[in-house]
Structure 1
Amino acid sequence: MPAPHVMIVDDAPENRLVLSTLLESDYQTSEAECGEDAINMLSDARPDLILLDISMPGMSGYDVCVNIRKNPETRGIPVIFVSAKDSTEERLEGFEAGADDFLTKPIDGNSLLEKVKFHIQRSLDKKEAQKQSQDAMNVAMEAMTSSSELGQIIQFVKEVQTIRTAMQLSTSIMTVASQFGLNTAVLIDTAPATLLGCSKDSMEARLMEKFRTAEQRITNMGVRTIIRSGPVVMLIKNMPYDDESRYGRLKDHLAVLADIASDRAKSILAESMMHEQRLSFLKEIIALAELNIEKTS
């Protein structure tokens, strides 16, 4: 079986050299020095993963990623942004463009190899799961020809277990809602809260904050509707209030979506907590070891 293929897109030759050298023992690599070249190369070959610089002449990494996600032939390829910056805004813009992960320059070799391996395996697992469930999905979709909305919920169920961060989960929720024709904001009760679809100082953000601990699951306010399930709060800004049938149907769909997202959010939070606990434990061990060294020296 041939080694997985990683495409490296970066305008700096020295950066491409570093990445290709780190990967060469386990992966096939190809290189593109600009976004336009990468898009052209994708018409001939499909890599298993793309390492994509953000700041490049011509097409930025964001533009390239959006182009990849718009193309049905390439939208499933994992994309890891490689950037010298690591701001929340840059990460948010990256995830909105369709990125799967980030690496910060200067590159840590171990982190690079771990992320590349993880995302390639996740992509393979996703393809295998889709293949195995195709027959069952065909039967289900035949029974749901009258409801494309429910089909979007099912697709979300298929993909939700591959989501690893609260921001990715928020983006997926908003994607499903947008396919329903809805303008949505999402808050996930992390520390600090994960917010998408509005600014943290906006009226929408304050409204969702108010409902983080509310008892009611669904609150109707005309065209605005709040749906809460566990750590997930959704604000729909344009519910079809004048269409009673569609309004009720969408509310039911969104309640199911919120419940599914809530279960995954709880898992993500638990995984994050375990990770933090492991880090704390390691720090304690290191501190104890250093103390013992000082005593014996």
Structure 2
Amino acid sequence: MTTRYKAVVLSKTSDEQLGDLLDEKYHLLQADSPVQTLQLAQEHDLKLILIDGNSIADDDVIGICRELKDNSELPVVVLGHEETLQHKLDAYDAGCDDYLSPSMMFELKARIDRVLFNKIANDQLKMQLKQANEMAFIAMSDTSDLGVNIQFLLDVNRCNNIDELGMRLFQALQSYGINCSLQMRSRYGVKNMEANGMAKDMESVLMSECKDKGRYVDFGRRSIMNYGGVSLLVKNMPVDDEKKYGAIKDNVFSLLQGCDARIQALDNLQSLALESQLVKRLSGQMSSMMSAVDVSYQGVMRDIADVVENMADGVEQSLQFLGMDERQESALQNIMETGIVETNRVFNEGIRVDEGLKVFLQKIDRVFADDHVDPQEVQALLDMMPKNS
């Protein structure tokens, strides 16, 4: 039997269509005020709060969302009608976990499911993470921010993929006591991450939309920091502590620079790997083509030699019927013999050229046979090729 999760819909009107859409997985309760919503949260094992922005004014939605998040840890999803980035930023700053505008309503169930699963995962990890964070804080309490950054920059060069890079960054950020979402953009895709490994849709969208808005995008207690292919959304900036606020921005930014440099390095390594595969396949393709050309070429040359020899035999047999004197016959025989000799010479020369190409292709195969190419062998190949004039 499918588990049905309890959720409350805060709305000034009753939306039967919403109930029908979510009825399979959610048991929806109705509330018309934040007070009633919080009361239902105390009386029932609620997993989610939905705010119907279509029946509530925009300014009221933001205030309601902030009031609910100040008094409850339940995730809040706003079903709004505003499409603007600023309204989404305001809603997120008020504590909204996701915001679905009219153009996104087709994915309502999937988005709500992801918010719910993030809540469940976070609850399960909460006790373990609390203990781990306490131990990490004790271990790193005597370590300066500079030391943490230097260690990260040393470790980052050993990261072999984007996922490992993101987790190392989150480990470094633990010393700053900040809660973050991360987005890394490489030439081969975009990776959104949370400290627990699960990305949240709304935060991913906000970072994508703010990545070209400057190095810092500040709103409320949140800040989005951008550098190159990296964006970091800090959810709990210490806005009341100016010194700590500035230190976090300055020190964390250097971590983003190191992260971006490693993303570029990983992109280059992947590009080199693809280029190496291309060269290997081209070499194999050329070898196959040359084998076919070789067979065809030698067959043509043999046929030409046979034709010339047959012509010589025919001419020699016909000399006695042509009424030519001995001197004329000798001259014609010399011409035919010279033609046979030259044909054989051209044939043999063609074979030598073909063998040279075979040797060159064999050397290419040997050079790229291993994953790690020997630079000296590559240089030797280059020396065999004519330089561009």
Question: What TM-score results when the alignment is normalised by the length of structure 1?
Answer: 0.53
2:111 to 108, 111, 115: 115
Residue 92 (structure 1) aligned to one of 89, 94, 99: 89
C-alpha distance in 2 between matches for 1:28 and 1:253? 43
Q: What is the Cα deviation at residue 135 of structure 1?
A: 3.4
Partner of 2:60: 60
Q: 1:6·1:30 contact (CA, 8 Å) conserved in 2?
A: yes
Counterpart residue type for residue 158 of structure 1: A
Instruction: Confirm or deny: 8 A CA contact 1:6 1:29 kept in the other structure.
Output: yes
Q: Could you tell me the percent identity over the aligned residues?
A: 15
Deviation track 1:32-74 (CA, whole Å, cap 9, x = no partner) reads 1233322333343352111112352798221121122223xx2
Q: Return the structure number with greater helix share.
A: 2
Evaluate the alpha carbon distance shift between residue 28 and residue 260 of structure 1 in structure 2; reply closer, same or farther with a 3 A threshold: farther
Secondary structure at 1:25 match in 2: coil
Aligned-residue offset at 1:143 = 2.4
Alpha carbons 2:230, 2:259 under 8 Å: kept: no
Q: 1:145 Cα shift?
A: 4.7
Aligned pair in 2 of structure 1 residues 146, 21: CA closer, same or farther (>3 Å)? farther
Contact 2:226–2:232 under 8 Å retained in 1: yes
* Distance in structure 1 (CA, Å) of the matches to 2:261 and 2:51: 31
From 75, 79, 97, give the equivalent of 1:78. Answer: 75
Counterpart in the other structure of 1:4: 5
1:112-168: CA deviation from partner (whole Å, max 9, x where unpaired): 211111111122122233344343223212224568995444643726753444554
Query: 1:10: how far off?
Result: 0.9
The 1:254/1:117 distance shift into structure 2, 3 A limit, reads same
| Structure 2 residue 211 is matched with structure 1 residue 188 | yes
- 8 Å Cα contact 2:34-2:67 kept in structure 1: no
* Amino acid aligned to 1:143: A
Counterpart amino acid of residue 136 in structure 1: A
Residues 85-164 of structure 1 aligned to structure 2 (within 5 Å):
85-105=82-102, 108=105, 110-145=106-141, 151-153=175-177, 155-156=179-180, 158=195, 161-164=198-201
1-structure distance, mates of 2:45, 2:251: 39
1:255 paired with 2:254, answer yes
RMSD: 4.6
| Alpha-carbon distance between aligned partners in 1 of 2:124 and 2:29, rounded to the nearest angstrom | 25
* Counterpart contact for 1:39–1:64, Cα < 8 Å: no
Contact 1:169/1:261 (8 A) holds in 2: no
Alignment partner, residue 350 of structure 2: none
CA distance in 2, matches of 1:263, 1:53: 43
Deviates more, 1:43-52 or 1:154-163: 154-163
1:139 is aligned with what amino acid?
M
Q: CA distance change for structure 1 residues 90 and 65 in 2, over 3 Å: closer, same or farther?
A: same
Instruction: Measure the CA separation in 2 of the matches of 1:263 and 1:123.
Output: 32
CA contact under 8 A between 2:227 and 2:256: conserved in structure 1? no
Q: Deviations over 1:190-214 (max 9, x none)?
A: xx8797338xxxxxxxxxxxxxxxx
Distance 1:258 1:92, change over 3 A: farther
- State the SS of the aligned residue for 1:48: strand
For 2:85, the aligned partner's letter is: T
CA distance in 1, matches of 2:3, 2:62: 30
* C-alpha distance in structure 2 between counterparts of 1:52 and 1:95, whole Å: 13
What secondary structure does 2:125 align onto? helix
Q: Structure 2: 5+ residue runs without aligned partners?
A: 146-172, 181-193, 220-224, 264-389
- Deviation (angstroms), 1:31: 1.0
Residue equivalent to 2:315: none
DSSP-derived class of the 1:28 partner? strand
| Partner Cα distance (2:197, 2:101) in 1 | 26
Number of residue equivalences: 209
1:215 match? none
Give the TM-score, by structure 2 length: 0.42
Q: CA deviation at 1:82?
A: 0.9
**C-alpha spacing 1:30/1:59, structure 2 compared with 1 (3 Å):** farther
Q: 2:218 aligns with which of 191, 197, 216?
A: 197
Whole-angstrom distance in 2 between the partners of 1:69 and 1:137: 23
Q: Is the 8 A contact 1:187 1:196 kept in 2?
A: yes
Ranges in structure 1 where 5+ consecutive residues have no aligned partner:
171-185, 199-225, 265-297
